[in-house]
Homo-oligomer: A and B are copies of this chain.
Amino acid sequence: MDLETRIKQLEARVAVLEAQEQIRECLARYSFNADLGRSEEYVNNYTRDGVIDLAPSTKWTGSKQLMDFIGSPGGGHKAIEGRCQHTSMNYFIRVDGDKAWAEGYSVVYLKKGDKYEVFTCGFNHWDFVKHGDRWLLKYRYRRPVGGEEWGGKVIRDYLKAPP
């Protein structure tokens, strides 16, 4: 292979590695914004038509509904803000140009009195889109561990992904 072709291949491979790191950062932003009460940043970390699908009857679509969920007094999230920690881990990430998806786990901790408890554990599939320089969440599909639905409905694309 000539040098030009090898450099081109390297540029493509490095771009994928950088995108995978940026997607991990996008999920870190998600957690930081949720836990620190940065509701506007939380919404802006999603696309305008972004969806958070937490359970069969618990789903928000688009910036306005996302802001209701995360930022309004009766929206659900305010009940735990200030004493919660949203973590995620065990990511499996695939990038294709300006689209990407990830699958992995989420765990939320909650302070109650002077103790911490494990509030939720979830199975997740996330979709991402790159807008300009920045990756945004487009869709979060999450089901609780030990819930009514099998987690394998959520975490399944890793089975078909090329190595």
Contacts and interface: CB of A to CB of B under 8 A. Distances in A.
B25 A92 contact: yes
Interface of A is mostly: mixed
13 contacts: A7-B7, A28-B158, A31-B90, A32-B90, A32-B92, A32-B103, A35-B145, A36-B150, A38-B152, A85-B105, A115-B117, A116-B119, A132-B163
Contacts of A116: 117-121, 145-146
Interface residues of A, number: 64
B11 A14 contact: no
A90 B121 contact: no
A64 interface: no
Contacts of A115: 117-118
A111 interface: yes
